[in-house]
């Protein structure tokens, strides 16, 4: 269907649907209408399509088993239903407008139907994606959806000979609402029930990690490796890796813990990272160290079954510290620097201006400690290593993180340090637990064993320098 409209009249979508019966199971969600923001119909910039947005409400009585779902997991229900609708778009002609499939440029609207396996994430992530959040949620009134899509404008699309009246968009919206209602009514109950349960479990476990003395739990069988796409280029949003994806298993010598998934009805073992410990993730190149850290960060989000990270659960308010030039005016870096390098204004307790890579990291550590972050993550690949490990030409006015852990460890009391490293041997030796990734599989290395191995290596290296 091609829609022929005067651009000046297109914006009145609320008028076109104002008299749609309230007896239907899927109705305009008028309470949420914000004209021009979440309800509109406008010509695309190239005038080949009519883009629309409309808040809708699916009533509870039309949702199978709705009364049996735990409200704590409602966002899991919402996310599961949205993904089911997306999968139905190519199969149901009434839903095709959600993906702009009949427009000249359907790729322009592909984000609307891009699969998303994240239930809940931080504000600002995935703004172009259709996913559970403030505009798509479930409450006692039912399922609230803000649907967006596009229709071919007159003279475009697959049928460019037709010239439809403005009322045709009304018919299309009504057809879309019917399609949504049918799709929601046919969604497998076990599919949404599992999503509700896993969502509720992730929230419950996250809230109890503190009482367990943990900052993160990585369940056996978790799959932190990701597949990136055009619309999900950030690891927080990316889906599970295609092809070979090796599940995580907590090594026995790292003392696995068991966590009960009460709503889902099972108990699972895995790695628990303790509050206040120094935990090193080590390994050679391309073994998944950075990916493992990303998995821990992603554990602050909730995930749908099948994402691979639904068993990774991390408390909030953590920090990721990395290098890079930025303004650090007002920062206190005195923990690491007794004096400032030439060209840097201020004092170590109150720096002024742009800092070097190591100063930026120092500021990051200090800021995290001052706000009592439960954990700090950092990755050797994104670090100023001269702030982390000492060297033979190090200035005496600089204390590295290795020095601080060896001499003033109490500074970090209550804050976990979780890091990925391959060459920072002296820092790794200050860890309380060491996990090695080898061929993408985890094993534990005893700290004493690592230190002995490092001692032999450094002794041999020192001897070779004198030959």
Residue 43 domain-assigned?
yes
DSSP label at residue 344: -
**Confidence at residue 21, expressed as pLDDT on a 0 to 100 scale:** 62
Q: Which residues 6+ apart lie within 8 Å of 77 measured at CB?
A: 69, 138, 143, 192, 195, 196, 199
pLDDT number for residue 13: 77
- CA nearest neighbour of 271 among 286, 288, 287, 249: 249
Report yes or no: 396 and 337 within 8 Å, Cβ to Cβ.
Answer: no
**Residue 51 belongs to some domain of the structure:** yes
Structure tokens at 293: 């850290």
Q: What is the pLDDT of residue 341?
A: 85
Please give the pLDDT value at position 166.
58
CA–CA gap between residue 313 and residue 340 (Å, rounded): 40
Cα 365 to Cα 110: distance, rounded to the nearest angstrom: 40
Tell me, yes or no, whether 64 lies in a domain: yes
Phi, psi values for residue 197, rounded to 5°: -65, -45
The total domain count for the chain is: 1
Task: Indicate whether 299 belongs to any domain.
Answer: no
Low-confidence ranges of the chain (pLDDT < 70): 1-12, 21-23, 155-167
User: Does residue 237 lie in a domain region?
Assistant: no
356 domain residue, yes or no: no
User: What's the whole-model pTM score?
Assistant: 0.93
Between the alpha carbon of residue 375 and those of residues 89, 276, 277, 329, the distances in Å are: 42, 8, 9, 24
d(C-alpha 180, C-alpha 123), whole Å = 27
Cα dihedral 150→180→117→126 (10° resolution): 40
Residue located via tokens 């026995």: 252
Can you give the residue range of the structural domain that contains 116?
7-187
CA dihedral of residues 173, 177, 179, 184 (deg, nearest 10)? 150
Is 149 domain-assigned?
A: yes
Nearest partner of 152 among 111, 96, 87, 110, judged by Cα: 96
Tens of pLDDT, residues 323-363? 998 999 999 999 999 999 888 899 999 999 999 999 999 99
pLDDT of residue 23: 60
Q: Is residue 125 part of a domain?
A: yes
For the record, the structure tokens of 309 come out as: 């990270």
Identify the pLDDT of residue 20: 73
């Amino acid at each position: 269907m091609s829609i022929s409209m005067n651009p000046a009249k297109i914006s009145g979508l609320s008028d076109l649907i104002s008299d749609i019966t309230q007896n239907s199971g899927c109705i305009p969600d008028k309470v949420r209408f914000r004209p021009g923001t979440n309800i509109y119909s406008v010509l695309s910039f190239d005038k080949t399509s009519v883009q629309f947005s409309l808040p809708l409400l699916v009533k509870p009585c039309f949702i199978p088993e709705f009364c049996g779902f735990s409200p704590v997991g409602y966002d899991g229900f919402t996310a599961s239903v949205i993904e089911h609708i997306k999968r139905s778009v190519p199969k149901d002609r009434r839903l095709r407008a959600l993906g702009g499939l009949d427009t000249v440029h359907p790729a322009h609207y592909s984000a609307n139907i891009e699969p998303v396996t994240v239930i809940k994430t931080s504000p600002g992530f995935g703004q172009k994606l259709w996913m559970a959040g403030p505009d798509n949620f479930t409450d006692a009134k039912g399922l609230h959806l803000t649907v967006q899509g596009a229709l071919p404008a007159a003279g475009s699309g697959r049928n460019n000979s037709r010239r439809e009246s403005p009322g045709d968009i009304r018919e299309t919206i009504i057809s879309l609402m019917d399609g949504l209602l049918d799709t929601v009514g046919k969604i497998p109950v076990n599919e949404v029930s599992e999503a509700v349960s896993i969502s509720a479990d992730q929230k419950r476990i996250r809230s109890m990690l503190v009482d367990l003395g943990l900052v993160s739990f990585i369940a056996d069988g978790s799959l932190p490796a990701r597949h990136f796409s055009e619309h999900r280029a950030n690891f927080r949003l990316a889906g599970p890796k295609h092809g070979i994806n090796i599940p995580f298993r907590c090594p026995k010598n790292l003392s696995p813990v068991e966590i009960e998934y009460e709503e889902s009805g099972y108990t699972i073992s895995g790695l628990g990272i303790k509050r206040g410990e120094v935990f090193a993730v080590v390994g050679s190149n391309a073994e998944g160290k950075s990916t493992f850290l990303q998995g821990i960060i992603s554990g602050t989000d909730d995930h749908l079954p099948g994402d691979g990270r639904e068993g990774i659960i991390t408390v909030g308010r953590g920090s990721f510290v990395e290098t890079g030039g930025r303004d650090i005016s007002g920062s206190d870096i005195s923990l690491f620097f007794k004096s400032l390098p030439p060209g840097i204004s201020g004092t170590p307790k109150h720096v002024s201006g742009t800092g070097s890579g190591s100063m930026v990291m120092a500021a990051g550590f200090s800021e995290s400690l001052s706000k009592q972050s439960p954990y700090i993550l950092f990755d050797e690949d994104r670090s100023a290593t001269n702030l982390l490990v000492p060297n033979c030409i190090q200035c005496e006015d600089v204390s590295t993180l290795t020095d601080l852990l060896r001499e003033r460890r109490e500074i970090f009391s209550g804050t976990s340090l979780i890091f990925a490293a391959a060459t920072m041997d002296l820092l790794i030796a200050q860890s309380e637990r060491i996990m090695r990734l080898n061929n993408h599989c985890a094993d534990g290395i005893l700290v004493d064993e690592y230190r002995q191995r490092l001692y032999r290596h450094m002794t041999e290296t020192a001897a070779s320098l004198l030959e």
